[in-house]
């Protein structure tokens, strides 16, 4: 399916995937939000619509009662493109400093959005957990490995239905305990991606204990330097599984960086991600027109 020319738009569809990825390959993605897999998974919540504008792909999303544009895919006549999109909705989200700079001569306000900043980790740090800063992570990993005798396996098509069952059970067990307003939407996104796993170039793995899946992780290449993780779920009864899951997954897929996406302002999630000491945050901004 072709993507219509702006101001016309069309709902996100799997038939747009090849055209989208072809454009993304020419303009390597930085922010996690515009991964096609992310758009596909969260589409039931955000109702994405795509258009072509100035040889770029532009993405409109719904956030409550507001519509907003995400960073364009492509950079041709970028200043003109951003200015036109801002005139449309009055709201641009998940924008990088590059986008802010392009609009510096316009009457706009750029606000740092900490809750949506992407966490970027050095790949080797997650694999080796080096030095005193990671002594507790290493202890957890060693305890988990020594106590439970886990087996890590790549996520193959034959395991998808078992991972899906694990995801369903994990959600039922944790939805009332975990204080995260986005948990249901994240669960629906995980199911959508699992149900279409073979349609994407995804990377995944599972941890098995006594031949049962007790944790899984799904990611993809965001750009040639960066591995993006989409979903990481573990049976919380097994202490130390998270360090093991990340270590084994990253060991299988060597990139310079691992992007673990944002924390959405969820306190426990922010604490957990900070424990791994991000190398840097990919800052994102909300851009609005000045009154």
Domain edges within the chain: 10-116, 118-261
CB contact set of 61 (below 8 Å; sequence gap of 6+):
46, 47, 48, 49, 67, 68, 69, 70, 93
Q: What's the pLDDT band for 176 if we cut at 50, 70, 90?
A: confident
* The pLDDT of residue 177: 79
Mean pLDDT for 13-28 is 94
Q: What is the mean pLDDT of residues 239-257?
A: 96
Q: What is the pLDDT of residue 245?
A: 96
* Rama region for 29: left / alpha / beta (φ>0; ψ in -120 to 50; rest): beta
| pLDDT given at position 181 | 81
What share of the chain in percent tops pLDDT 70? Answer: 100
Give the Å distances, CA to CA, from 82 to 49, 102, 226. 16, 8, 25
Tell me, what's the pLDDT at 286?
A: 98
Distance CA 197, CA 268 (A): 28
* pLDDT for the residue 239: 96
CB 125 within 8 A of CB 277: yes
| pLDDT for residue 212 | 97
pLDDT at residue 179, as a whole number? 74
- pTM of the entire predicted model: 0.95
Paired tokens of 207: 């941890």
Homologous superfamily of 10-116: Gcn5-related N-acetyltransferase (GNAT) (3.40.630.30)
Per CATH, 10-116 and 118-261 having the same topology is answered yes
Name the percent of the chain lying above pLDDT 90: 92
pLDDT at 1 over 70: no
| Structure confidence at residue 291 as a pLDDT band (50, 70, 90) | confident
Question: Residue 4 pLDDT more than 70?
Answer: yes
Average pLDDT over residues 55-81: 96
* pLDDT beyond 70 at 70: yes
**Fold annotation for 118-261:** Aminopeptidase (3.40.630)
> What are the structure tokens assigned to 170, written together?
């994990």
Spatial distance between the Cα atoms of 70 and 288, rounded to a whole number of angstroms: 13
Averaged pLDDT of the chain: 96
Per the DSSP assignment, residues forming a β-bridge with 215 are 207, 234
């Amino acid at each position: 399916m072709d993507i219509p020319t702006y101001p016309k738009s069309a709902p996100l569809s799997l038939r747009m995937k090849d055209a989208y990825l072809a454009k993304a390959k020419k303009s390597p993605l930085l922010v996690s939000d515009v991964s096609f897999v992310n758009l596909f998974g969260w589409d039931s919540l955000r109702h994405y619509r795509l258009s072509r504008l100035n040889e770029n792909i532009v993405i409109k999303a719904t956030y409550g009662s507001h519509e907003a544009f995400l960073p364009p895919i492509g950079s041709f006549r970028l200043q003109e493109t951003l200015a036109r999109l801002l005139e449309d909705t009055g709201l641009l989200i998940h924008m990088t400093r590059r986008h802010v700079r392009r609009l510096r001569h316009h009457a706009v306000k750029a606000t740092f959005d900490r809750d949506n900043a992407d966490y970027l980790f050095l790949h080797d740090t997650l694999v080796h957990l080096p030095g005193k800063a990671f002594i507790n992570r290493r202890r957890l990993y060693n305890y988990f490995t020594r106590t439970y005798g886990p087996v890590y396996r790549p996520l193959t098509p034959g395991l998808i239905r078992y991972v899906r069952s694990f995801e369903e059970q994990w959600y039922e067990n944790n939805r009332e305990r975990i204080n995260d307003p986005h948990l249901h939407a994240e669960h629906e996104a995980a199911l959508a991606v699992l149900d279409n796993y073979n349609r994407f170039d995804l990377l995944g793995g599972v941890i098995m204990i006594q031949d049962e899946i007790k944790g899984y992780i799904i990611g993809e290449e965001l750009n040639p330097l960066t591995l993006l993780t989409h979903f990481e779920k573990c049976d919380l009864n097994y202490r130390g599984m998270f360090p093991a899951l990340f270590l084994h997954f990253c060991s299988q897929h060597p990139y310079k960086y691992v992007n673990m996406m944002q924390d959405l302002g969820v306190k426990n999630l922010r604490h957990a991600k900070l424990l791994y000491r991000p190398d840097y945050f990919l800052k994102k901004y909300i851009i609005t027109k000045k009154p």
